[in-house]
Amino acid sequence: MKTIQFREAIAEAMSEEMRRDETIYLMGEEVAEYNGAYKASKGMLDEFGDKRVIDTPISELGFAGIGIGSAMNGNRPIIEFMTFNFSLVGIDQIINNAAKMRQMSGGQFNIPIVFRGPTASAGQLAATHSQAFESWYANCPGLKVIVPSNPKDAKGLLKSAIRDDDPVIFMESEQMYGDKGEVPEGEYVIPIGVAEVKREGKDVTIVSFGKIIKEAYAAAEELEKENISCEIIDLRTIRPMDHKTILDSVKKTNRLVILEEAWPFGNIATEITYQVQSQAFDYLDAPIVKINTADTPAPYSPGLLKEWLPNSADVVKAVKKVLYK
């Protein structure tokens, strides 16, 4: 194993796949000359040249469409959005072309394309740059959605996403790019659609994904001092969702808390809640509790932002609620 930053894991995954397959290229704003807005493509222009690492104008609709068209013609593009907030400018191409082209063409075209970049909040970036759209994209048939929480998962899942023959939404975080973690030295991939139990426990199941899962880890450490044992599941892939891992855990612990950095209405936690109550209702000893952001646009004020975001204290409170403590 070696220890690298999250941004290095992303760069390694892209570079290794581009060495393996010449039809793969990276395109987006500042990915080339600037080495990426978050330095996640550092050194790639030097290695692969400007035909395969391509800087674009500020034109998400344009370069999303170019990527989809090139995928229809045998290429495997990686399209970087500086943030998924900006993907809204190109969402027509993603939803109406990338996600639907296989069906609309009667299977004549598949779209092997990855749309990647950071999601959710990243400090004081205010309302329009702090949004989580995992549930938006996961709602659309034809798209796969991945949200890793650490360098090892990021690298292994990004390699799988690039090799996949369907469009994949790959969501990162500005606040994770500097995170360090152990990554295997050799070649490896992590299959899409498989969650992982990151911490074994017996009293309550906590399901989360992305950077907010750190609050679950912190809460579990605090609760351990009170002899409360938390099992933590990292979804890693939002769609297709690994229902079995969640259900198996709930059948063991009989209690479920879901932590997600997203608005509360109609989110990923809502879907998990439905699946668990429909398939494991008799195993539940308490109502499911989901923890989300406040139901407002993200505030700019640091004091308000702190109140808006879920935190480890919220998780501790939720766990004690389902344990009737």
The catalytic residues are 60, 129
Q: Residue 145: what are its φ and ψ, rounded to 5°? A: -130, 125
Dist. CA 302–CA 143, nearest whole Å: 35
Residue 275 contacts residue 246 (beta carbons within 8 Å):
yes
Dist. CA 184–CA 270, nearest whole Å: 34
Give the orientation angle of helix 268-279 with respect to helix 243-253, to 10 degrees: 60
**For residue 217, what are the contacts with CB-CB under 8 A and spacing of at least 6?**
198, 199, 232
Dist. CA 91–CA 84, nearest whole Å: 10
Residue 143 contacts residue 84 (beta carbons within 8 Å):
no
